[in-house]
């Protein structure tokens, strides 16, 4: 089972970012109006890079494992970044 967080967009809100932590997993969801923010992939890649950096710092010498974990987390929502 996979849980994907979702933030609805309405009125003047054009981009939403949600973070969900459950059962040892941290999942990010990005919802956006492509017409006003077509570069949402830049935000997604930035989140992926920042999480990879945090995991690498936390892993110390085990950087390869941290980078692999970041890739799994970032693509876990069914889309590649």
Pairwise CA distance, residues 61 & 30, whole Å = 31
Instruction: Give the model's pLDDT for residue 71.
Output: 60
Pairwise CA distance, residues 47 & 76, whole Å = 13
Residue 1 lies in a domain: no
| Residue 26, SS3 per DSSP | strand
Residue 58 lies in a domain: yes
Instruction: Give the model's pLDDT for residue 81.
Output: 41
Q: Which residues span the domain enclosing 20?
A: 15-75
pLDDT digits (tens, 9 = 90+) for 34-70: 888 899 999 999 999 998 888 888 877 665 666 666 6
Mean pLDDT of the residues in the chain:
79
Beta-carbon contacts of 57 under 8 Å, excluding residues fewer than 6 positions away, are none
Residue 65 lies in a domain: yes
Residue 38 lies in a domain: yes
Tokens of 77: 């929502």
Q: How many domains does the chain have?
A: 1
pLDDT confidence tier of residue 79, bands split at 50, 70 and 90? very low
pLDDT confidence tier of residue 80, bands split at 50, 70 and 90? very low
The rounded percent of the chain whose pLDDT value lies above 90 is 25
Residue 30 lies in a domain: yes
């Amino acid at each position: 089972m996979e849980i994907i967080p979702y933030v609805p967009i309405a009125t003047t809100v054009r981009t939403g970012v949600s973070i969900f932590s459950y059962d040892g997993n941290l999942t990010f969801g990005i919802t956006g109006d492509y017409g006003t923010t077509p570069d949402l992939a830049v935000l997604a890649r930035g989140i992926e890079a920042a999480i990879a950096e945090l995991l690498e710092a936390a892993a110390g010498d085990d950087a390869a494992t941290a980078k692999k974990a970041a890739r799994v987390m970032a693509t876990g929502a069914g889309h590649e970044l």
